Structures are given as structure tokens and as C-alpha cells.
Amino acid sequence: MKIIQLTDTHLVEPGARLYGMDPCDRVRQLVTHICEHQADADLLVITGDIANDGNLDAYRQLREVLSPLPMPCRLLLGNHDRRDTFLEAFPESPVDENGFVQSVQDLENPSLRLLFLDSQAPGVIGGIYCADRLRWLHTRLQERPDVPVVVFLHHPPVPHGMRHFKHIGFHDGESVMTLLRAHPGGVRHIIFGHIHVPLSGVTSDGIPFSAGRGSNHQFIPGFDDPTPFWTSAPLNYSIITLNEEGVFVHGYDMIECEGIVRARNCLGP
């Protein structure tokens, strides 16, 4: 199973710019690259903050931009998104019984359950995972207790070391982690966005996680600074491979290069 992750695309209404850039054009370039180099991927996931202001036309434009992709897409909500306008543009997106944009996908070989969570709450920058969503997650975990899970969502439910997000992190992320930690099958990986910095790590009790950097803008490192600087991000995506050997997250930055030289086939020693 190969999954492409984009995150924090922050699309604005057609023709507008954000921090001097055209977020939609950047996603269009990424889609072109993915079609050319990652057409064998099984799924593309955007881990939230799809649109900067939840603008309906931005979501409609994304629909057209994603249309050349040969693989299905799973779109998750972040704090910048609006559930109602998103679902108006993407009515086929799977939702749970309470209307949250949450779903599962089961894999065989390796046997895994992918969980796509909705941590968005209107008017709140940080993540919220209410009692209804917790019930949904609990049920999904109980359905296949011995199957390991891989979790996708916008807000990090784990420590990430960035001061800027101290008050706008995942407000009740610990309730999610409590359920995940108790899952007999274990948690193979948690994949998120929100922090606009590429990150990989592991919790003190051994749950691995990673974050994409965002396709439009990223933070200049200043991890103890409550007001760090934004700057443009290189066009980028992550390639997540799930197989019998484990879970692998490769990153790719589309940086203009002076030249391209094919690597030698190194046969050792």
C-alpha cells in the first residue's frame, strides 16, 4: 500500500494569493508531479487545512485540480476548514453517523486498519475530539481489536516541541491517545499536519508519528518562539509505504535543481 500525503494546502478563492503565493497553483504542480512519478500510489490523503478560509470556491477549485489523479483521495479537515462548504464541494466524502468527516479503510497484506479522524471544531484553532467522535473511534477500534491501526488526522495528539502551538494544539488529544494506547493491536503510526514543519518522532511509550510541512508555507525553525516566522515551503509531499516490513515515510521536496544525474547502481560492498 502506497499513500501520498499532502497537508495544509490552505487554498484561497480563485485568483487570490496567500503570503505572496498561489496555493492552488502549487497543488496543481504537485498533482502533475504525482501523476508523473507516483501514479502507482493507492491513495492520496490531505491531512487538513485544505482551504484557508473554508471558501466554497476554493474547495470546488480543488476538485478540478485533483481530477487528473489516478488514485482515490481522502480529504481531512483542519481548523481552517469549514465542514459545511467542504461537504458541499465533496458530497461523496465519507462521514460518520454524526456528520463528522471520519472513516476507516481496511488493508490485507499487511492487515491494517487506516483511521481517518476529524478533529475540527468551528471557531477553535486547536483540535477538538468530542464525546460523539470518541464513541465512533472506540467502536472502530473494537471492531477489529487485534488489527494494528495507522491514524491520519490534522491536529497532533502527541508532543511536538513547538511553542507556537502551545495553546492551539489538540485540546483533548489525550483522550484520543488513551483509546489508541489501549488498542490491543497497537498503533503503527500517527500522521498529521497543522504544525507546518516536517517532523518525525516517537512518544515515550513507543508510538511513532510524523508530520508533513505544508504545501504552501512553513515555519522557519524557532521552536521555542511563540511568534516564529512563516516563509514559503518548497513544493513537497510525503510517500507513505505500508508493507510487511513496516511503515515508511519518505519525504520529497520539489526544489529546482541545477542538474539531474542518475545515481550508479551500487552493488556493494
Q: Which residues bind Fe ion (CB under 5 A)?
A: 8, 49
Alpha carbon distance 181, 205 (integer Å): 9
User: Which residue, 148 or 193, is less far from Fe ion as judged by CB?
Assistant: 193
Burial class (CB in 10 A: 0-12, 13-18, 19+), 242: buried
Q: How far is the CB of 204 from Fe ion (least distance, A)?
A: 26
User: Which residue, 129 or 165, is less far from Fe ion as judged by CB?
Assistant: 165
Q: Which residues contact 250 (CB under 8 A, 6 or more apart)?
A: 238, 239, 240, 241
User: Which residue, 58 or 247, is less far from Fe ion as judged by CB?
Assistant: 58
Phi (first) and psi of residue 233, to 5 degrees: -95, 150
Name the amino acid, one letter, at 19: Y
Q: How far is the CB of 222 from Fe ion (least distance, A)?
A: 17
Alpha carbon distance 248, 180 (integer Å): 20
User: Which residue, 19 or 248, is less far from Fe ion as judged by CB?
Assistant: 19
Q: How far is the CB of 10 from Fe ion (least distance, A)?
A: 6
User: Which residue, 59 or 136, is less far from Fe ion as judged by CB?
Assistant: 59
Which residue's CB comes closest to Fe ion? 49
Q: How far is the CB of 79 from Fe ion (least distance, A)?
A: 7
Q: How far is the CB of 113 from Fe ion (least distance, A)?
A: 26
Name the amino acid, one letter, at 108: E
Please choose, from the candidates 137, 135, 136, 128, the residue with its C-alpha nearest in 3D space to the C-alpha of residue 157.
128
How many CB atoms sit inside 10 A of residue 14's CB? Answer: 13
